[in-house]
Amino acid sequence: MTEAAPESERPEPLRPGPDHEDENEFGVSPELVNAVRDDLDDGRIGEVEAVVSDLHAADLADLVEQIGPEHRGALIDILRPQFDGEIFAYLSQSLREMVLDQLEPREIAAAVAELESDDAIDLIEDLDADQQREILENLPPETRALVEEGLTFPEYSAGRLMSRDLVSVPQFWTVGKTLDYLRTETDNLPEDFYDIFIVDPMHKVVGAIPLSRIMRQKRSVKVGDILTEDIRTITATTDQEEVAFLFRQYGLVSAPVVDGNGRLLGVITVDDVVDVIDEEAEDDLLKLSGVPDTDIYRAVLDTTRSRFTWLFINLLTAILASSVIALFEATIEQIVALAVLMPIVASMGGNAGTQTLTVTVRALAMRELSNTNAVRVVAKEALVGTINGTLFAVIIGLVAGFWFQDHLLGIVIASAMIINLFIAGLCGTLIPLGLARLKIDPAVASAVFLTTVTDVVGFFAFLGLAALILM
């Protein structure tokens, strides 16, 4: 039996470096994750501290996510003495809750105090009232006041999204005085900013000046003479989807947030909007699949429970489709080929409908589909469904005819294919449009309705035509 080498002679765990890193790779590498796991298993806490001290907050969040539940607690214990609150901004919601449960309220408050107000609000807004109160009680008075005020705005609104860290100057200042202010008041200015907002004596926004413009002006020029008056202000109660649309539509980098009287409250920057766009796209994708949230890090029972409801609804719709088949039980008994072919019609209708549904839901979210062009879009998708239905009808009609040596059977399935793909294209647009008109999120319920329609129509058309023509 070979004797194990002394610990001092064992090879060091593989760590990322110039010889191991892919220059095009971002984030934490699998080698780094495995090295940290090995260090934690062997109790080399100093090695882990050295590794995590050089990581960006986004990479630390990735490490926390990827290291696995058996090592996550130990890693958080190493990070907790000087926990970087920015890590929370990059963690998934479910893992964020796990980390918060492991930290003391004073530790969370210390991390929150280092965050910008919008990130601080985003962190604690989903906590229960008792946790919020404990954290707020441990915050510095100024930070606490900003966070409490931010929590009074509606959820998913510009007021929750905005940061209070901005630069605003009176319209009578000169460029020189503004530049001197920027250079001397560094402790009171945001770390990064793109526009300087110009306000009147009532603190209402009258314009904005990009940094690039003010840097090219002479010191004697008044800021009121070079400001951009046509700026897009956002009220604090505006929904974040509207904010994202505004930034995308006009190519904004930042925009001021105002109260009902037009007074400047805060600023929303493009990095915040990128997160909103990502969240909204993810939300629509998950809803189309019947999944309430990204549950990859949640416990098995929690994940099972969250998916059960939607699957139960699908079971009910499947029973409805099966009841249509039961109406033609005698026909199927006499012509066994029907049982072989009928899933093809329903499947093709479901897939064609899903294509149309995906395009329609996206168009609604992007404001590309409205009352002005709805009729044209519905007609187009119905026509596309009919054309595709005809093309596939020819293919499946020939296949079925040769397969079962029955040309009438080929005609039946071809006709059913045309009908179902036409209905798929029509309902794939009408269902989300109807739900949107009823103020129901089309991403939530469209898929289950569409699947039911294409299954029921597909089975009924195929079996009904078979009963009429073949019997």
User: Predicted confidence band at 290 (pLDDT cuts at 50, 70, 90)?
Assistant: low
325-352 pLDDT, tens digit each:
888 888 887 788 888 888 899 899 989 9
Supply the pLDDT for residue 292. 60
What CATH superfamily is the domain 300-469? Answer: SLC41 divalent cation transporters, integral membrane domain (1.10.357.20)
Q: What is the pLDDT of residues 112-166, one digit of tens each?
A: 888 877 888 888 887 788 888 888 888 888 888 888 888 889 988 999 999 888 9
Provide the 3-class DSSP secondary structure of residue 437.
Answer: helix
How confident is the model at residue 1, as a pLDDT? Answer: 41
Strands 234-235 vs 205-210: parallel, antiparallel or unpaired: unpaired
Residue partners of 287: CB distance under 8 A and separation at least 6:
441, 443, 444
The conformation of residue 263, written as its DSSP 8-state character, comes to B
Considering the domain delimited by 13-156, tell me its CATH architecture: Alpha Horseshoe (1.25)
Q: pLDDT, tens digit, for every residue of 62-77?
A: 898 888 888 888 998 8
Start-end of H helices in 289-439? 300-327, 329-334, 337-365, 374-404, 407-437
- On whether the CB atoms of residues 446 and 357 are closer than 8 A, the answer is yes
pLDDT at 11 over 50: no
Residue of 256, 254, 219, 204 lying closest to 235 (CA atoms): 256
Per-residue confidence (pLDDT) for residue 295, from 0 to 100 = 57
Tokens found for residue 107: 């530790």
* Long-range contact pairs involving 211-215 (C-beta distance under 8 Å, separation at least 24): 214/175, 214/178, 214/179
Evaluate if pTM is beyond 0.75: no
Token pair for 79: 């990070």
Give CA–CA dist 259/202, Å, rounded.
12
Question: Residue 325: what pLDDT?
Answer: 85
Examine domains 13-156 and 168-269 and report if their fold is the same.
Answer: no
Whether the Cβ atoms of residue 198 and residue 209 lie closer than 8 Å to each other: yes
Domain range 168-269, CATH class: alpha beta
Average pLDDT over residues 402-407: 90
- Dihedral sign for Cα atoms in the order 279, 283, 285, 289: positive
Q: Is the pLDDT of residue 191 over 60?
A: yes
Percent of all residues in the chain with a pLDDT value above 90, rounded to a whole number: 31
Q: Diameter of the chain by CA atoms?
A: 95
- Residue in 350, 370, 353, 354 with CA at minimum distance from that of residue 436: 370
Q: Which phi and psi angles does 353 have, rounded to 5°? A: -65, -40
Q: Work out the pLDDT band at 210, boundaries 50, 70, 90.
A: very high
Number of residues assigned to the chain: 471
- Give the contacts of 43 (CB within 8 A, at least 6 positions apart): none
The distance from CA 346 to its chain's CA centroid, rounded to whole angstroms, is: 31
Residues 6 or more apart in contact with residue 191 via CB below 8 angstroms: 165
Domains of the chain by residue range: 13-156, 168-269, 300-469
Strand order in the sheet with 168-170: 168-170, 195-199, 205-210
End-to-end C-alpha distance for the chain, whole angstroms: 80
Q: How confident is the model at residue 26 (pLDDT cuts 50, 70, 90)?
A: low
Task: Give the pLDDT confidence score for residue 24 in this predicted structure.
Answer: 43
